[in-house]
Amino acid sequence: MAAHLETWSKEEIRAVIRFLNAKSLNPTEIHKELQSVYGEHVIRRTQVYHWCNLFEAGHSDLTVREGRGRSITAMSEDNVKRVDELIRQDRRLKLHEIANSLEISETFTHRIVFDELGYRKFSARWVPKQLTDNHKEQRLDICRELLRRSKSSRRIHRHTANAGGDFLGYDVTFLDSIVTGDETWLHHCTPETKQDSMTWKHPSSPVAKKFKVVRSAKKIMGTVFWDSRGVLLFETLQPGETINAARYCLTLDKLREATRRKRPGQLTNGVILQHDNATPHTARGTQGWLEKYGREILSHPPHSPDLAPSDYHLFGPLKRELAGNRFDDDEELVDHVRKWLQNLDGTFFREGIYSMVRLWQKCVDRLSCYVEK
């Protein structure tokens, strides 16, 4: 095996790169050739790519310093400004589209976009609905009113409501009187998410495989009502049943009885019901039931699952619990969900209710935009 050359200059290496690039060798091949003659640490492969791009762009000066100097024409202030203008006009432009438009290399385009301008590309976050101005006004007005009613909102906002938090001394009468509930589909087979199926591996470990699984067609509708102390009611619809105003009123009858048994005195002290604006919840029959028993409804803005505790706090963990399991029948599925709900720590429910204050405040601070936990 021939010995490597021990002495060489940067200009020499660049001249070799220019020569081999002119012979149509790609940067990887050029890098291997350089290592075979000058040694393993002669130059990084990324630098070979950099100089190949320069030579292909017509650059011929071997003495221009390496790195990200501004002396290179493509990195001029004018090009930086033009790239910024293009991105501001269309945030979805790809690097090669910018490079082609300005007739500069993708390497320089990458440096301008990431290093000079500091852009990063992110996927858009899905939101439930494009809110109209009227929807936004309703969200703001309702959240401000709810914050006013929860006089302890500032203290709860300063102290993160978590499982280990100490809520003694807080005026939480208003929050403890809230009973929230909603419906959700429970599938016999819920596929595991890609994130939940991640495993630890060494570089030499075989690639893990995950077979595509879809949610089963067999499913049942489950309804859960809960407050800051735990679950009050969990029920499912029978096959062929649908939720309408009459059926929802039967559920509210069961909830009233469950509250009487599990929370003695709560019906007398006052219960504030929180549910979304689904048709069965706002129908005339449901309103009649609420008026008959004097139940107050907590105001809830339209199209706002981000402000509904069941949506943002309960159903997510429930679906993750069911993920990867298969149930042979409805009874087995219902039993599994019931046991899971019973085993939840009391602080889980308290956190879910008390966090409403923090989300109301976030909604106001963000001028009614959708919020996350």
Q: How confident is the model at residue 203, as a pLDDT?
A: 67
In the CATH scheme, what is the code of domain 133-365? 3.30.420.10
Percent of the chain topping pLDDT 70:
84
pLDDT at 315 over 80: yes
Instruction: Tell me the domain boundaries of the chain.
Output: 10-116, 133-365
Q: Which carries the bigger pLDDT value, residue 372 or residue 279?
A: 279
What are the two backbone dihedrals, phi and then psi, of residue 60, each rounded to the nearest 5 degrees? -135, -10
Q: Which carries the bigger pLDDT value, residue 132 or residue 253?
A: 253
Which range in 88-102, 116-130, 267-281 is most confidently predicted, on average pLDDT?
267-281
Q: Which carries the bigger pLDDT value, residue 199 or residue 39?
A: 39
Q: Are strands 219-227 and 272-274 parallel, antiparallel or unpaired?
A: unpaired
- Please state the three-class secondary structure of 20-89 as a single string: HHHCCCCHHHHHHHHHHHHCCCCCCHHHHHHHHHHHHCCCCCCCCCCCCCCCCHHHCHHHHHHHHHHHHH
Q: How confident is the model at residue 46, as a pLDDT?
A: 81
Q: How far apart are CA 9 and CA 15, in angstroms?
A: 10
Q: How far apart are CA 56 and CA 32, in angstroms?
A: 20
From residue 6, how far is each of 9, 37, 48 by CA, in Å? 10, 9, 20
Residues 6+ apart with CB under 8 A from 309: 180, 274, 352, 353, 355, 356
Residues 6+ apart with CB under 8 A from 211: none
Residues in the chain: 373
Q: Taking all residues of the chain, what is their mean pLDDT, rounded to a whole number?
A: 85
Which has the closest alpha carbon to 262: 234, 287, 282? 234
pLDDT at 169 over 60: no
What is the average per-residue pLDDT within 202-215? 66
Condensed to tens digits (0 to 9), the pLDDT of residues 350-371 reads 999 999 999 999 999 988 888 8
What is the average per-residue pLDDT within 4-8? 81
Please tell me the least confidently modeled range out of 28-42, 43-57, 337-351: 43-57
Q: How confident is the model at residue 271, as a pLDDT?
A: 94
pLDDT at 337 over 80: yes
The answer to whether the CB of 234 falls within 8 A of the CB of 262 is no
Q: How confident is the model at residue 209, as a pLDDT?
A: 66
Cα Rg, the chain, nearest whole Å: 31
Q: How confident is the model at residue 212, as a pLDDT?
A: 61
Q: How confident is the model at residue 4, as a pLDDT?
A: 77
The answer to whether the CB of 106 falls within 8 A of the CB of 96 is yes
Q: Which carries the bigger pLDDT value, residue 201 or residue 78?
A: 78
Phi-psi category of 230—alpha, beta or left, where left has phi over 0 and alpha has psi -120 to 50? Answer: left
- pLDDT category at 255 given cuts 50, 70, 90 is very high
The answer to whether the CB of 38 falls within 8 A of the CB of 13 is yes
Q: How confident is the model at residue 149, as a pLDDT?
A: 87
Please tell me the least confidently modeled range out of 102-111, 115-124, 273-282: 115-124
What is the average per-residue pLDDT within 271-282? 95
